[in-house]
Structure 1
Amino acid sequence: MIQFGPEIDRTLLEDTLRFAERQVTNLIEKHPGFYPIYTKSGKWKHDGPAWTHWCDGFLPGMMWIFHRRSLENGENKQYWMDKAIEYSRPLEPRQFDRDVHDLGFIFLSTYYRWYQITREPRLNDVLVQAGKTMSLRFQEKGQYLRSFVSEDSIFIDIMMNVAVIFYAARETNDRRLRDIAIRHALTTRRYLVRGDGSTAHEGLFDLETGEFLRQTTHQGYRGDSCWSRGLSWALYGFGSCYEYTRDPRFLETAERCADYFLTHTNADGVPSWDFNAPEDTRKLLDTSAAAIAASGLLRLCRMLPDPVKGFYYWSSALRILKTLCEKHTQQDSSNWEGILQGGVYHIHKDLGVNESVMWGEYFFCEALEAALRHNLAQKKPNGSGKL
């Protein structure tokens, strides 16, 4: 179970976010126009396979985070806005991409952040179209959004992408879009989230009848185990569903996933790559799962009606961030090009194992910025200024 320190150092979070800016600056200056997925021996540019094409939004997404941070600090660094636009704009044609289930990852990290700053209608049009395109993956028999793998497959990852459909539904008052998003979330809740709050990576359905067949996995240890990154996707994703719907079933599910994560992770908040991994690989951590969980907890804690539990989630997120900042970044090293070390992409394919991974970078920066923006790092509910 996670353990808490007595105080969080706000300066630590600020210094780490500045380090992240430096690392991203170095990346885009060294490899202009390059959208990486994972490092190899700490280097972004390599000949390793990508497997899927789903991470392009995370690099410009970090640039948008840096720009927003500069505005809040009164600096207004035009550099980051210019770079964010430069790297976001080439993604625009993918609003029509029907080959992936990751349009939320691609557009909520980029065009949504861009639109929040400028309010240009055309940016919102891109977001809405991405949501409509994503909805075309819906399988009436089975009531789910199919994964990129096959028509009979549902991934827990899709919970991070269904929000783009909710967004499109809200912007257009399209009840059908909203219904698709809700039905997918309920199907995922029923078949991929277990009673104890753990999650399966993938579920398979009978295409003829829509009957659910079994839980399985591509990246976890086995079909009935709990792959830690998938659990973090669920924690964050069901919280997002609750934000859009205020359906208490989604809040309850997000809480169950959060509670499983917090009671089964290591004491410092960084989990093994799979909570049920065998002893010989259990020491392999996944810092990207920790970063996603921290960001999800910071969102979730503000939705809870119970302030005590909200403070528990808040404190847990800050403890995770402290660990990541202190133990999993090497700010004095020029040899490692990433921000957050110790991430895992695909252990079975030996891709990005114990490396920096782009989603880990993005959600780490998102969590750092959220903690600083809401003054969570040193603020007690009673206003005393310390944890």
Structure 2
Amino acid sequence: MPSSRFTFVLVLLVCLCSFTLTWDRIPIDPVLRYCVQQASKTAASLPTTQPNLPRTILNGKTTWTYVGYKDWTSGFWPGTLWYLYEYTKDPRWKTKADSFSRELTPLAYQKAIDHDLGFQMYCSFGNGLRLTGDSAYKKILLATADTLATLFSPKVGTILSWPRPVPNMEWPQHNTIMDNMINLELLFWAAKNGGGKRLYDMAVSHATTTMKNHFRPDYTSYHVVVYDRDTGKKIKGVTHQGYADKSMWARGQSWAIYGYTMTYRETKDPRFLDFAQKVSDVYLQRLPKDLIPYWDFSDPTIPNAPKDASAAAVTASALLELSTLVKDKSKAALYRTKAEQMLETLSSANYQSRQVNDAFLVHSTGHKPNNSEVDASINYADYYYIEALIRLKRLQLGKPVLANL
């Protein structure tokens, strides 16, 4: 009997050790210090005049291309700076984050030129408000939410993405892209902070209408749905930046995973939690071995097709949060483990930029059908990568996934 008891305890300890390792696949601090080092190099080389927001380092190049505040990616560099400040507590990062965020201020008060205000302003001023409590940031965010709300169509039930002619969108019909799910977070925040219930209702309507029309029976998503602006009826689904209208464009699916996870967090409506799992599961089932997707899951040139590290970073960040929301412990463990494995791969020599350039990551793909930013370093890949790392560090410290460090 003593030997049997000893064997049982030994086996139990081995199992517990193995379980612990699956929760701590990455030594987070060295990876975050790597991000600090890379961002320091970028910050030291920025132009002294606008445009001065780093967006892309193209394949084969070593220097950033820069954009101005109106570019849809303009919030990712200041947002990254806020995460660097959160991690380091170094006031120099706070000063830089504040300065670059404030460059975007006109967006809050100008006529909306597209739906990307959430990306631009919540990643920048939203993180700034979270970390500093600055009332000036709150005022700007509330004004931005009102500006974004001007694009909402009550007849359709969604926010108009591109209020201008875009190829194959049948302008002036109403178009909505999957990316728009991320911008709902700004509306949810504003509804709780003085903007009123109308903003909450818009966000829920957008998420519900998108859930109904943007997905195929297998829960893969279209990039765009075009609606009749007068009747609200769906005209067609289009995969604008993907391989084909029937294909699963990787980053589009990652926006869905992130967006419906966030929508459940804000509404507590179980429909959205169930849906977040469905769109996550089909994505996970079709991933290649290293868990970094090809830019489109249906590209016939796979395995020679470009990868998209940005989609992996977005998904990893979303799955870390989703793992804390699902009630099924085995499902929660799956999502967290997959997220850690994705971050482990992204943190390897295959995907970190290291000596190649000053970004965090390589092998992201922006808009392959336009041959734009293919196999490049892109600012939103870096943003969601550091966000996911910060989220994982919080969890490893026993904090809520959205708590400040």
- Give TM-score scaled by structure 2 length: 0.85
Matched, 1:356 2:356: no
Distance 1:282 1:231 in 2: 21
- Say which is worse superposed, 32-41 or 90-99, in terms of deviation: 32-41
In the TM superposition, what whole-angstrom CA distance separates every residue of 1:74-95 from its partner, at most 9, and x where no partner exists? xx31111111111111111111
Q: Which residue of 389, 393, 403 maps to 1:368?
A: 389
Query: C-alpha displacement at 1:355, in angstroms?
Result: 0.7
Aligned pair in 2 of structure 1 residues 206, 328: CA closer, same or farther (>3 Å)? same
- Quote how far apart the aligned CAs of 1:223 are: 1.2
> Once the 2 structures are TM-superposed, how far is the Cα of residue 45 of structure 1 from its aligned partner?
3.3
Where in structure 2 are there 5+ consecutive unaligned residues? 1-18, 165-172, 399-405
Which residue of structure 2 aligns with residue 337 of structure 1? 358
Shift in Å at residue 199 of structure 1? 0.8
Q: Which residue is 1:247 aligned to?
A: 269
Question: What is aligned with 1:380?
Answer: none
Match of 2:286 in 1: 264
Tell me: higher relative CO, structure 1 or 2? Use CA pairs within 8 A at least 6 residues apart. 1
Q: Which residue of 1 aligns with 2:347?
A: 325
Query: For the Cα contact (< 8 Å) 2:353–2:359, is it kept in 1?
Result: no
Instruction: Give the Å deviation of 1:376.
Output: 7.4
What's the RMSD between the two structures over aligned residues?
Answer: 2.2
Q: Provide the residue aligned with 2:75 in structure 1.
A: 57
Distance 1:211 1:219 in 2: 23
TM-score normalised by L of structure 1: 0.89
Count of residues paired in the alignment: 364
Is contact 1:290-1:320 (8 Å) kept? Answer: yes
1:136 to 143, 150, 160: 150
The aligned counterpart of 1:201 is: 223
The letter of the residue matching 2:158 is: Y
| Aligned mates of 2:227, 2:25 — CA distance in 1 | 48
Distance in 2 (alpha carbons) for counterparts of 1:306 and 1:340: 33
Structure 1 residues 42 and 297, CA gap change in structure 2 (3 angstroms): farther
1:225 pairs with one of 239, 247, 256:
247
Question: Hey, what's the Cα distance between the residues in 2 that align with 1:252 and 1:20?
Answer: 34
Q: Which residue of 1 aligns with 2:94?
A: 81
Cα distance in 1 between the residues matched to 2:203 and 2:255: 16
**Structure 1 residue 206: Cα displacement:** 1.5
Match of 2:365, SS? strand
Report the Cα distance in structure 2 between the residues aligned to 1:5 and 1:175, rounded to whole angstroms. 43
Q: What residue number does 1:298 align with?
A: 320
- Which range moved further: 206-215 or 154-163? 206-215
List structure 1 segments (4+ residues) > 6 angstroms apart after TM superposition.
Answer: none
Assess if the C-alpha contact under 8 Å between 1:131 and 1:166 holds in 2: no
Distance 1:249 1:282, change over 3 A: farther
What corresponds to 2:26 in structure 1? 10
What is the alpha-carbon distance in structure 1 between the residues aligned to residue 332 and residue 395 of structure 2?
14
Output the amino acid matched with 1:365.
Answer: I
- 2:126 aligns with 112
* Residue pair 1:142, 1:205 contacting (<8 A) in 2 also: yes
* 2:114 matched residue in structure 1: 100
Deviation string 1:259-278 (CA, Å, 9 cap, x unpaired) is 11111111221011111111
Deviation at 1:227, TM superposition (A): 0.3
